[in-house]
Each structure stands twice: as structure tokens, then as C-alpha cells.
């Protein structure tokens, strides 16, 4: 609660709503003065264009609408001067002078971009995640933004879905920790401070489970799966105090999320106690027409009654709610409630005290793209990298000899920031070629492009909607390949930077084939054939299918899309100045046919053999193993770690008690390094079928070469709980198995019984 609220509460001035929520006197007084039209105006969120429009529509006549009190917030406007123009219009020219919320998609850094969220999650470092969000908030608020359309906490188990890049991967436990850290980072302790902004948890709900990984597609899921697997991160964000929620495009149980009363009221407000406001996604209200729920007036009324407070861009509320009120289809109370929630958010950000509080023209220079921020981004990037494989310990490279740096992403600033970085400027990004030269200035580094990202011009055109990310070279593919091979032959080692262009993942970028494009595969094969040591630096916004490359005698460092400091961070790791410790937060399948494949899948009544060899009439495939190529939690280091001596502090646990697992971790290799110790739990017998195992704890540990440590992870009573068939959160007596190790295949195990 901010100090002002506390003072008012003490004076006995606080009133209560039906949700037993405190009311803010200033807001109540303002509501008294508002006409119905003005209340509806507050529910309208517009974008005047100029930013990235993620739908076909961009708002019109925005200025006139602000003057008329028909706008509650804007997004796609930034910079203290520009925001001031809009804010002055609202404050000085509209009848009641209500300031605007100014939103933005600050997904992975504002101007100082850092790794895409899937990459950041691979750090398994919650302090760093929070620091990243804090930095983003500081930069964005310096530019006049007070509301962030982040974090995206959608669990995603289908790497065909391009937006898997924007979230924290497949796991609800890790996803919940990250959701909390991001909300804390954006909102801080005091929402009205000038460097914090409102968080907006999205996309509520289940967006990551769209059928066949196709964006905007339908979702159909049992409540048991929702509660146990998909909803926890949203709930964690709400519990952490997230001020707003954005609905998803998909339907949930047959009703689009934007008009889903069960979701927005029964669950979100009544069961979880959320007291912030709910905004639609971009025209998702209008899209309910195409979903088959009626015309604009009908879907707008439905959405309001379901619990939607603000309508993004589509103007369904603006153009139809009054009519619906006059026809008795919605009540004024419903409109007032929605308006109240929007106004309360404005109040909490401090906009009523000072509508210009985020508009200090001196701040951008002081707070944006500072050396400190770039350093932090570099650190975040190196912590996000995952060493998938290190054949013959090719990595780290020595800073000597001749290095062939090849590949279409090796000298490509335009692909360093990653998807959803509209506020970043890729021209300021460090390319990998530059990074290598910065870090190893006396080493000979020779560059050749070697291949196009893709040779398919139609594909390139689709990817290049925001500018050229895939440029097809005028030279023939053969020519480029020959040049790279010749270079490789005269070098001591080859580093090939390959993978996805920035916009090959992200929104509206679903793929059915998630392998490395053929043009680049040819390059990799030819480089390997030279017999030189080869390290692949793999860039992507999603897990890829790399079974062919994984079989080759190569090292593979997965770097996602690392952000503005890409080249420096990659060089830090490639040359061993930092020893990589990232771990995958989404499983990498052998092939697309295995999808969805994730570590917490059910056991089934006919589990395959331990060895995963095919068995007739078991749950397996004729033509592929069940096991993925790379399990959840996988990630190597330049050093090696040994796990031994797993112990539990008790054999029997009573309801309400926790239990501690302790393991000995030894750094057995030649480098100092960090390891993410992971604990998985299997609830062996219970009333609903249990997952094979589920992440329930982790700790990132630094060990010097040769060092040994006892690492303890405590499971709380809540960690033993799950949602049963009645959707109650319970723990049931019986046997549990604990696994501790380096990834979700962890082998050390011990059992205990819950009494």
C-alpha cells in the first residue's frame, strides 16, 4: 500500500467494494463527476501508430478523442516531449483532465535490449531476471512509459509456436519464479516512484497451448491440466502484485479469453483476489466476432460483463457500450466498476498527483543506454547461453592462431536483438565479428558469410516485415560456400554462426519445420568435411530440431537472440572469459513429430522400457525414440560436475512439514564454473495421474576448480501439493521420489513417505 492509502485507511475513510477491496476516495469523487460517456472513454486504449502495429488496425483521430475524454490510455508513443503532448491534451483539454496511461511492449529491455525472454530464463538466476526488469523499467519510464505489456508468462511446450521466444519455457515452477521476479523488477516497492511502471501479465490464459503451435489458434484443455501446469505462473504474477492482466487471443473452454467470465471473474478476481484491471489484447475483443460470438455490440457487452476493463485498439467498448446500456444489456455499475479499476491504476502510478511525473526531459540521456546498462545486458546475455555439446572440448578457444568466423549471422547486427524489440535500435548492437575483434584483438579473425540464412525468397519476404532480416546475397550460394570452405581450410578452427533470423520466431512466426534452414545446413556439412575443429554458435528464438548437427563432431553453443551486447557476450564465452552455465527451459525435440515433448509428461499405463527401445504395445513410436534430443534443464560447462551422496533429512513427512534434500557437488574439471543443481519430484501414487517428474527446486552454485560443496534444497509443504479432481490444492499421503542432478534426467534418487 502506498503511504497515502495507509494514511487514509487510518482516518477511516476507506470504503469497501463487493470484493472487499479498499476504495480510493479521490477515485470515488472523480467517478461521481463522470458522465457515462466519460467512464466508457477510460476503457479505451488506442495506438496512434508509429510503433509496431500487431494487427491490421491503427487508431484514428486520436487527438480529437483525447480532447473529448474518449481515451484512457495510449501505447506506441514514447519520449518525454511526445508523451507530454498527449498528456497535456488529456489533462488540459478534456473536461475532467484525467491523465493517460502510457503503455509499451518492453519485452526484453527498452533501448538496452537484453536476451529474449526464453534466453533470459535459461540463466535460472532470479536476481538477474529482476535486475533486468528493473533496468527495463528505469529506461522505459525515463522515456515517458508508465505501463508495460510484460511479463509474458505463457507456458509453452510447442516450439513450433513462434512466441515460445517471449516466455520462460515449459515449466510452471520455474515460470512462476520468473513471473514473480519480473513483476518485482518492473513495479518495485512503490508504483508511484518515477522509475517503476505497472506490469501487465499476459496472455491470460493458456495462449502457449494453441493447437499445432499455430499462432492465434484455438486451445482446448482440461481444468486439471490448466490448474497444475498452465495457470501457476499467472497466479504467481498476481500474487506478486501485478497491476494489470492482458487477455489472450485464444478461447478457453469454448469462450474467447477476452469474454470469458469464468476466467476473468470467477478465477482471476474471485478465486485469486486480483484487484487490478484487465485489458484485451490487440483487437481481441473485435475478434470475438470471428470466433462466432456475435456482432461488435454483443461481444463488447459480453466482454464487459465477463470482467474486461479496457479494450485495446478495437473501440468496441467506445462505440457500443452506451447503446447496450440504453437497451438494458449492461448496467452502469459494470461500466463504473471497469472505469474504477482503470482510474485506480492511474492513481497508484501517481499520475493524479503529477501527470507529468514520467516526463523529465533530462532523464533519457541520464538513464538510457548507459554504460552500466550495456554491461548488465552483456552479463545477462552470457548467462543465457547454453552449451549444448562440446566435442573434443573445442570451446573455449584460445586467443591465438587463425579463426575462421563464418555464417550468415556472424556479421549481422539486424539479427542480434531478437523478436519484439521495437524500442531497440539494432544499429547499436555489437555484431559477433566486432565482438571477436574486441575480445581477441591480437588474434587473426577472418570472416566469410558462407550462406544465406535462407535461400527461399518467398520465405525471406514473410520474415522481413519489419525490415531486411534475411538478405539474399547477389552472389551464388555455391560461391559463398566455396569461399567459406577455403577460409576454413587455412584456419586453425572454425566458428560458424547459424540459426534463425530475428523474425523467424516471435508473434505470427509459427513454423512447421524448426530445423536449421537448408542453405545453412549445407554450409555446416561442408565445414565439418574440412576436418577442422568446428564450433557452432546457434542463434534462435525457440528450440530447434538439430538431430543431424548434434551427431556431427562439433561443439554447439546456443545463444538465442542475445540483445544489444550480443557480439561481446558471445566472445566472452567463446574465448572462455566467462564459463557458460545456462540450462534449457524448454525441451529440444528429436523431430517435429515428437511435439509436444516435455519433462513433466504423464507416465501412461504403458510406459516404454528404461532404455527407450521400441516395444510393441507400449507407448512409443516406431520411427523415433520417446526421449527428446536434449532434456529440459540440459546445459554443459567448460568444467565438469559430479553429483554424489544424495540424502533426505527424513524418511517420513507429516502434512504441513517440509523436507530437505542434500547432495554433494564436486567440480571435477579444469575450470571454475557454475552449476544449476535441479530437484525433481515424483508423486508416485495419488488420486489423479502424476507427471513422470516435475521440477520443484533448484540452486545455482559457483564452484572453483576441484572444489566440493554440500548443496541443500528444501521442499516446502506446498511443493508436495497439486490440484485434485475437485481443483483443490492438496497433498495426498503416500510415496514420493526425489531426483537431484544436472538436468531433468537426473539419476540420483531417494524416496520418502508423506503421512
- CB of 242 or CB of 524, closer to ligand NOJ: 242
| Interface pick for ligand NOJ out of 147, 274, 282, 325 (rule CB under 6 A) | 282
Q: How far is the CB of 163 from ligand NOJ (least distance, A)?
A: 8
Beta strands per DSSP E along 470-579: 493-499, 534-539, 554-558
Distance CA 623, CA 361 (A): 62
Q: Does 455 bind ligand NOJ (CB under 6 A)?
A: no
Size of the site for ligand NOJ (CB under 6 A): 7
Q: How far is the CB of 207 from ligand NOJ (least distance, A)?
A: 8
- CB of 34 or CB of 45, closer to ligand NOJ: 45
The DSSP letter of residue 269 is: I
Pairing type for strands 386-390 and 554-558 reads antiparallel
Q: Does 503 bind ligand NOJ (CB under 6 A)?
A: no
Distance CA 536, CA 410 (A): 11
**Positions in 67-126 near ligand NOJ (CB under 6 A):** 105
**Positions in 576-595 near ligand NOJ (CB under 6 A):** none
281 SS3 class? coil
| Interface pick for ligand NOJ out of 139, 171, 251, 281 (rule CB under 6 A) | 281
Cell of 307: 470482467
Active-site residue (options: 125, 251, 281, 455): 281
The DSSP letter of residue 743 is: S
- CB of 247 or CB of 373, closer to ligand NOJ: 247
The DSSP letter of residue 268 is: I
- CB of 54 or CB of 662, closer to ligand NOJ: 54
Cell of 555: 561443439
**Positions in 473-502 near ligand NOJ (CB under 6 A):** none
Q: How far is the CB of 596 from ligand NOJ (least distance, A)?
A: 21
Known active-site residue 281? yes
Q: How far is the CB of 280 from ligand NOJ (least distance, A)?
A: 10
Partner residues linked to 694 by β-bridges: 681
Distance CA 150, CA 103 (A): 10
Q: How far is the CB of 200 from ligand NOJ (least distance, A)?
A: 8
| Interface pick for ligand NOJ out of 65, 138, 202, 379 (rule CB under 6 A) | 202
The DSSP letter of residue 740 is: E
| Interface pick for ligand NOJ out of 110, 149, 186, 426 (rule CB under 6 A) | 149
Distance CA 451, CA 176 (A): 40
CA distances from 86 to 149, 310, 447, 620 (A): 19, 19, 48, 59
Helix (H) or strand (E) holding 530: none
Q: Does 204 bind ligand NOJ (CB under 6 A)?
A: no
- Residue 41 CA neighbour count, 13 Å, CB half: 23
- CB of 110 or CB of 149, closer to ligand NOJ: 149
Distance CA 556, CA 563 (A): 19
Q: What is the dihedral of CA 365, 367, 371, 373, to 10 degrees?
A: -140
**Positions in 504-543 near ligand NOJ (CB under 6 A):** 507
CA distances from 81 to 60, 94, 349 (A): 21, 19, 19
- CB of 345 or CB of 566, closer to ligand NOJ: 345
Sheet containing strand 386-390, strands side by side: 386-390, 554-558, 534-539, 493-499, 402-406, 444-448
| Interface pick for ligand NOJ out of 54, 336, 360, 668 (rule CB under 6 A) | 54
Site string for ligand NOJ, 401-420 (x = CB under 6 A): --------------------
- CB of 54 or CB of 664, closer to ligand NOJ: 54
* Burial class of residue 21 in the structure, from the number of CB atoms within 10 Å of its CB (0-12 exposed, 13-18 middle, 19+ buried): middle
- CB of 117 or CB of 669, closer to ligand NOJ: 117
Q: Does 471 bind ligand NOJ (CB under 6 A)?
A: no
**Positions in 308-327 near ligand NOJ (CB under 6 A):** none
Could you tell me which of 751, 137, 15 has the C-alpha nearest to residue 423?
137
Q: For binding to ligand NOJ (CB under 6 A), which residues are involved?
A: 54, 105, 149, 202, 281-282, 507
Q: Which residues are catalytic?
A: 281
Amino acid at each position: 500500500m502506498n503511504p497515502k492509502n495507509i494514511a487514509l485507511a487510518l482516518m477511516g475513510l476507506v470504503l469497501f467494494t463487493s470484493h472487499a477491496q479498499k476504495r480510493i476516495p479521490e477515485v470515488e469523487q472523480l467517478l461521481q463527476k463522470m458522465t457515462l460517456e466519460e467512464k466508457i472513454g477510460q476503457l479505451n486504449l488506442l495506438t496512434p501508430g508509429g510503433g509496431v502495429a500487431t494487427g491490421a488496425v491503427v487508431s484514428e483521430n486520436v487527438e480529437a478523442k483525447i480532447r473529448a475524454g474518449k481515451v484512457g490510455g495510449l501505447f506506441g508513443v514514447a519520449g518525454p516531449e511526445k508523451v507530454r503532448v498527449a498528456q497535456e491534451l488529456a489533462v488540459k483539454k478534456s473536461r475532467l483532465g484525467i491523465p493517460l496511461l502510457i503503455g509499451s511492449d518492453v519485452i526484453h529491455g527498452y533501448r538496452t535490449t537484453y536476451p529474449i525472454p526464453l534466453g533470459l530464463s535459461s540463466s535460472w538466476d532470479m536476481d538477474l531476471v529482476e535486475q533486468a526488469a528493473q533496468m527495463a523499467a528505469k529506461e522505459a519510464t525515463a522515456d515517458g512509459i508508465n505501463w508495460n505489456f510484460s511479463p509474458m508468462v505463457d507456458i509453452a511446450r510447442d516450439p513450433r509456436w513462434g512466441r515460445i521466444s517471449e516466455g520462460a519455457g515449459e515449466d510452471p515452477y520455474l515460470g512462476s519464479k520468473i513471473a514473480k521476479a519480473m513483476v518485482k523488477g518492473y513495479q518495485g516497492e512503490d508504483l508511484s516512484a518515477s522509475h517503476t511502471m505497472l506490469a501487465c501479465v499476459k496472455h491470460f490464459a493458456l495462449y502457449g497451448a494453441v493447437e499445432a503451435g499455430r499462432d492465434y489458434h484455438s486451445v482446448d484443455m482440461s481444468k486439471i491440466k490448466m490448474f497444475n501446469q498452465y495457470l501457476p505462473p499467472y497466479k504467481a504474477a498476481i500474487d506478486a502484485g501485478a497491476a494489470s492482466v492482458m487477455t489472450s487471443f485464444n478461447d478457453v473452454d469454448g469462450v474467447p479469453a477476452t469474454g470469458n467470465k469464468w476466467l476473468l471473474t470467477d478465477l482471476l478476481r474471485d478465486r485469486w483476489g486480483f484487484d487490478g484491471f484487465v485489458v484485451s489484447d490487440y483487437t481481441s475483443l473485435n475478434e470475438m466476432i470471428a470466433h462466432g460470438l456475435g456482432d461488435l455490440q454483443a461481444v463488447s457487452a459480453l466482454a464487459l460483463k465477463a470482467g474486461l476493463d479496457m479494450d485495446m485498439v478495437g473501440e468496441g467498448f467506445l462505440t457500443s457500450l452506451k447503446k447496450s446500456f440504453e437497451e438494458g444489456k449492461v448496467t452502469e455499475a459494470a461500466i463504473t466498476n471497469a472505469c474504477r479499476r482503470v482510474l485506480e491504476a492511474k492513481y497508484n502510478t501517481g499520475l493524479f498527483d503529477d501527470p507529468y511525473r514520467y516526463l523529465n526531459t533530462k532523464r533519457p540521456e541520464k538513464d538510457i543506454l548507459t554504460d552500466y546498462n550495456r554491461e548488465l545486458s552483456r552479463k545477462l546475455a552470457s548467462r543465457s547461453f547454453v552449451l549444448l555439446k562440446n566435442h573434443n572440448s573445442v570451446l573455449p578457444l584460445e586467443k591465438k592462431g587463425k579463426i575462421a568466423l563464418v555464417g550468415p549471422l556472424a556479421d549481422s547486427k539486424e539479427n542480434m536483438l531478437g523478436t519484439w524489440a521495437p524500442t531497440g535500435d539494432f544499429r547499436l548492437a555489437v555484431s559477433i565479428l566486432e565482438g571477436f575483434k574486441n575480445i581477441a584483438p591480437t588474434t587473426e579473425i577472418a570472416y566469410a558469410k558462407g550462406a544465406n540464412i535462407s535461400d527461399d525468397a518467398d520465405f525471406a519476404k514473410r520474415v522481413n516485415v519489419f525490415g531486411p532480416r534475411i538478405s539474399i546475397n547477389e552472389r551464388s550460394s555455391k560461391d559463398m560456400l566455396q569461399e567459406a570452405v577455403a577460409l576454413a581450410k587455412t584456419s586453425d578452427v572454425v566458428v560458424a554462426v547459424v540459426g534463425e533470423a530475428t523474425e523467424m520466431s516471435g508473434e505470427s512466426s509459427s513454423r512447421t519445420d524448426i530445423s536449421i534452414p537448408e542453405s545453412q545446413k549445407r554450409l555446416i556439412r561442408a565445414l565439418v568435411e574440412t576436418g577442422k575443429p568446428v564450433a557452432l554458435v546457434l542463434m534462435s528464438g525457440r528450440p530447434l530440431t538439430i538431430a543431424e548437427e548434434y551427431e556431427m563432431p562439433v561443439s554447439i553453443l546456443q545463444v538465442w537472440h542475445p540483445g544489444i551486447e550480443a557480439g561481446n557476450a558471445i566472445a566472452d564465452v567463446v574465448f572462455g572469459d566467462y564459463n557458460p552455465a545456462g540450462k534449457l527451459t524448454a525441451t529440444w525435440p528429436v523431430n517435429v513429430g515428437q511435439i509436444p515433448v516435455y519433462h513433466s509428461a504423464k507416465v501412461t499405463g504403458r510406459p516404454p522400457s528404461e532404455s527407450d527401445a521400441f516395444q510393441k504395445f507400449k507407448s512409443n513410436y516406431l520411427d523415433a525414440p520417446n526421449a527428446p534430443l536434449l532434456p529440459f534443464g540440459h546445459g554443459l560447462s567448460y568444467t565438469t560436475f559430479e553429483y554424489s551422496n544424495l540424502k533426505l533429512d527424513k524418511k517420513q513427512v507429516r502434512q504441513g512439514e517440509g523436507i530437505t534434500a542434500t547432495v554433494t557437488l564436486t567440480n571435477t574439471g579444469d575450470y571454475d564454473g557454475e552449476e544449476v543443481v535441479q530437484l525433481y519430484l515424483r508423486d508416485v501414487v495419488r488420486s489423479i495421474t502424476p507427471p513422470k517428474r516435475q521440477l520443484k527446486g533448484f540452486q545455482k552454485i559457483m564452484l572453483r576448480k576441484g572444489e566440493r560443496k554440500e548443496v541443500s534444497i528444501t521442499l516446502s509443504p506446498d511443493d508436495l501439493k497439486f490440484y485434485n479432481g475437485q481443483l483443490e490444492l492438496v497433498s495426498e499421503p503416500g510415496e514420493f521420489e526425489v531426483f537431484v542432478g544436472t538436468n531433468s534426467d537426473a539419476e540420483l534418487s531417494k524416496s520418502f513417505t508423506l503421512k
